[in-house]
Amino acid sequence: MSDNKRFEDKISEVESVVPANVAATVAAPDLLRAVADPALTEDLALALLKRPDLLPEVLEQLAKNVHALKSRKVKIAIASHPHTPRHVSVPMARQFYTFDLMKVALSPGVPADVKIAIDDVLISRLKTVTVGERLTLARRASGRVAAALLLDVDDGKIVNEKSGNVPTKDAETLARETRVMQTALENPRLTEALVISSVLRPCTSAALVQAVARHEKWSRRREIRAALLRTEHLSLARALEFSHEIPAPLLQEVLASSRLPGKIKEQLLRERAAR
């Protein structure tokens, strides 16, 4: 009897004794033995991982099967399963390639805390991946990753850690980084709250503030306009435009905590008083 046939019979036998609606509370010993068997094939492991009712102990046991883990597909399926323990899925995911990480983070069944942990792994890698990979992530990754990529442009300066010099970036590098930022602004998973958080960071570049201020979608949001008025990089023309739609008491509150130059703040208040 072939290995495939033997394991199919074993899993069928387990399922006949432990139906799907019961397996969510009872881990069949035969199933635990089956997933631990070094002869378990990729196809059967993947077929088993399609079951949404697998218990954490079954998934943990499968994650210890070094032969099954030789399959990239099996590892991704384990990390993506909704019942895989966090102490199993997160360390496993750290071994994945960039786009495999993205795939797991976007899987609908993955618990929220695991998605956040995987996003953090992706964000920690952003400076080490290629521009092409960053563009793909900017377009398709989660909102948190897209928000991190909004900070990819630093206004053309790179500090040399050894010498302390600050050489200017070349135009080609700046163009690539700006393209990543612009792509991230179009990410459908990016939220207003994430955009606001990004523009209000102390390290936010003038390029990001200006891009958001000109953006067809984001520049129309009142809360984002108020956030932009708190930054130091907004132009006088944009500041005047955005301040017109903000009630006077709120405008005073915004400007009180704003990093805009004093002359621009004074101009905004004079304009408001004259209306």
* Per-domain boundaries in the chain: 1-96
Counting every residue, how long is the chain?
275
| Token pair in block for residue 241 | 């435009």
Alpha-carbon distance of 183 to 152, in angstroms, equals 11
In this prediction, residue 158 carries a pLDDT of: 41
Q: For the purposes of burial, counting CB atoms within 10 Å of the CB of 27, is it exposed (0-12), middle (13-18) or buried (19 or more)?
A: middle
Alpha-carbon distance of 202 to 223, in angstroms, equals 18
In this prediction, residue 153 carries a pLDDT of: 72
Per-position pLDDT tens, the chain of length 275: 555 556 556 555 545 444 444 444 445 788 899 999 999 999 999 999 999 989 999 999 999 999 999 999 999 999 999 999 999 999 999 999 999 999 999 999 999 999 999 999 999 999 899 999 999 999 999 999 999 999 977 654 443 444 555 445 577 777 888 999 999 999 999 999 999 999 999 889 999 999 999 999 999 999 999 999 999 999 999 999 999 888 888 999 999 999 999 999 999 999 888 87
In this prediction, residue 98 carries a pLDDT of: 96
| Token pair in block for residue 147 | 């928000």
Selection from 106, 74, 101, 103 nearest residue 90 by Cα? 101
